[in-house]
A and B are shown apart, each in its own frame.
Chain A
């Protein structure tokens, strides 16, 4: 697999706290890679190390198969666009002038400004000062800045942070189009699983600085066992009965039981067992865990919730 980003044992400590702990990322070319984790998981620190904004205490970053060190980082960054957290803009300049500042720094052709404005749908507002822009427009302009040098790799850190639902929708649509229309590989960090689920083909889950999972989205879904959700009046008696019969049972916070099960035959067996013990079953369903359930299981060690299959 050809990887655009690879990290080896990447580590960064801030005093006694290890923000990123021996991180081994492998981001394949093409598609969208969702880098997921709760707030404070180490996503931004990892991204800043990828981009050379902060130096790691240990480990290395490889971009396009090349070790990204001080010497060759400048040439590698010609192939990378980035938007780190909120966009950095000059509010006293217009949208077009902001792009022009970056264009001058890049030494890029002038016509790329119009292309970028068109891509992020800001052509109409290009000559307004950025201080008059809404948050969504600022975010789109930030993306336009990242796209200006026609990058092969786009690194976006929480690009929808602070946006309203319409802004999130707009941004998501824009990011989704990028791999197909522009051939860009997108590395996207977010703490919102629902957002990543809709656009990512690959996923990496980070928690407390450690990478808990990495691979295709489909692989993540198959990792979690199907569960049987059982609603029963006599919870303790049901747990006792099912455990004695060899079922793996967990009490869910919602007042139902989660039973490790795979098929509808398992559901029939569990139901029959409970009914035979004169327990009042009012709900029984096989549940395919949502990505959110898996994410929560991985990052908080909570028992998985459910979604009816």
Chain B
């Protein structure tokens, strides 16, 4: 039970739901940017789980870790978008099914 009365099980359920949605998006979408957003979603699902546990256990460290994750996610977004831009210049598409240069 978190201090503001939400049971930890509910938080984890929400986190799992978010994660599954993100996973499905990452696996099923063909647009690279959509995949990227789905991955962000999975990361935030993880953040939510960490936060739920941190507040239930009255731990400050968990909340600090989440700040780090958010900062790194921002940096990752910049790098990822740069990759997509470079990829688009090269192949004129960001459809991941068409980007298969490493195929046998």
A binds B: no
